[in-house]
Amino acid sequence: MLDTGHPNLCAFHAQQAAEKSLKALLAARGKVHRGHACVDLLEILRGDGVAVPADLETTARRLDLHYVQSRYPNGLGGDPTRYYDEAIARECLEHGERILEFVRTTLAAR
């Protein structure tokens, strides 16, 4: 998405990848959650005994901000493409990759 000039969609899909990977980790632990916030998913994992690094919650908070705003005009009060650029999209990619790495590492340790 970033390479095709859609930084807002890149941000959205980074959040989605993080969300879905955390849901996969929950599923591997026999749990299901229907919400979309990575922050909530990390909280559930922590409550289930998973060691969640404190800084990962900040990563999740920053990424969750892009779930609605990156796609819907009423999220930011106008066309989302006006509010996103390459730097924001790359930051979202980094956050998403950080969460994906946490999930991979946690699953591998099982």
CB 26 within 8 A of CB 41: yes
Nearest 5°: the CA angle 93, 17, 7 is: 40
DSSP-assigned letter for residue 78: S
3-class SS of residue 88: helix
Average of pLDDT values for 17-27? 98
3-class SS of residue 23: helix
Class of domain 7-108: mainly alpha
| Band of pLDDT at residue 28, cut at 50, 70 and 90 | very high
Predicted local distance difference test score (pLDDT) of residue 71: 85
Predicted local distance difference test score (pLDDT) of residue 53: 96
pLDDT digits (tens, 9 = 90+) for 58-98: 999 999 999 988 988 888 888 999 999 999 999 999 999 99
Average of pLDDT values for 3-32? 96
| pLDDT reading at 15 higher than 90 | yes
**Domain map of the chain by residue range?**
7-108
Question: Mean pLDDT for the chain?
Answer: 95
Predicted local distance difference test score (pLDDT) of residue 76: 83
